[in-house]
Amino acid sequence: MKNISITSSFIVYDTLQELSADIQDLMNQAVEVRKKAYAPYSQFRVGAALLLDNGKIVLGSNQENAAYPSGLCAERVAIFHAGAIYPEAKILKIAITAASDTNQTTAPIPPCGSCRQSIAEYEIRQETPIEIFFMGEIGEVYKSASLKNLLPFMFDKKFL
């Protein structure tokens, strides 16, 4: 028997204003699309903005459905849209923000497990890390240099 230890490392920005101008813009676009989320059941709105290597920005917001779990998270809406319209483009950065209609979210909200797996598929396929920035409604912003930081034991096609 042996013991393995896995460490994750994040950069923490105290406020959105500490980020570079391009990342602030990406996060602000995520905030704006978050406001357009369709979240009548959870009242929890999420926005995602992807920066692609072709310079395009693709947006997504969570889309709920009464026939749960038929809805999609913001991250997957944006990623799948990017994959459909720019199939050859690489995702460089993802900005994610979440807010509740019932209380203020001040802690950074990371992608859920399903979104982590979807991001992993693209990161593995493109063979380049995807920087992930995530925050709540206000407060700190966390930066992960790669999805591997959030999901160190990624499941991919090599296991099939």
| CATH number for the domain harbouring residue 46 | 3.40.140.10
Residue 81: inside a domain: yes
pTM for the model stands at 0.95
**Amino acid identity, position 78:** A
Bridge partners, residue 96, by sequence: 48, 134
- Our separate counts of H helices and E strands in the chain read 3, 6
pLDDT in tens, 51-100: 999 999 999 999 999 998 889 999 999 999 999 999 999 999 999 999 99
In a domain, 137, yes or no: yes
Helix or strand holding residue 142 (H, E): strand 141-144
Residue 111 domain flag: yes
| Total structural domains within the chain | 1
Using DSSP's 3-state secondary structure scheme, residue 122 falls into helix
Indicate the pairing of strand 91-100 with strand 57-61: unpaired
Instruction: State yes or no: pLDDT of 156 exceeds 90.
Output: no
Active-site pick, 64, 75, 123, 131: 75
For residue 154, what pLDDT is reported?
84
Q: Does residue 8 belong to any structural domain of this protein?
A: no
Query: Known catalytic residue: 75?
Result: yes
Q: Would the pLDDT of 40 be above 90?
A: yes
Answer whether residue 64 is part of any domain.
yes
Query: Is 75 part of any domain?
Result: yes
Q: In whole angstroms, what is the distance from residue 97 CA to residue 10 CA? A: 16
Q: Does residue 27 fall inside a structural domain? A: yes
Structural domain including 114 reads 19-153
Given a cut of 90, whether residue 155 has pLDDT beyond it is: no
Q: Which amino acid type is present at position 159?
A: F
Report if residue 1 sits inside a domain: no
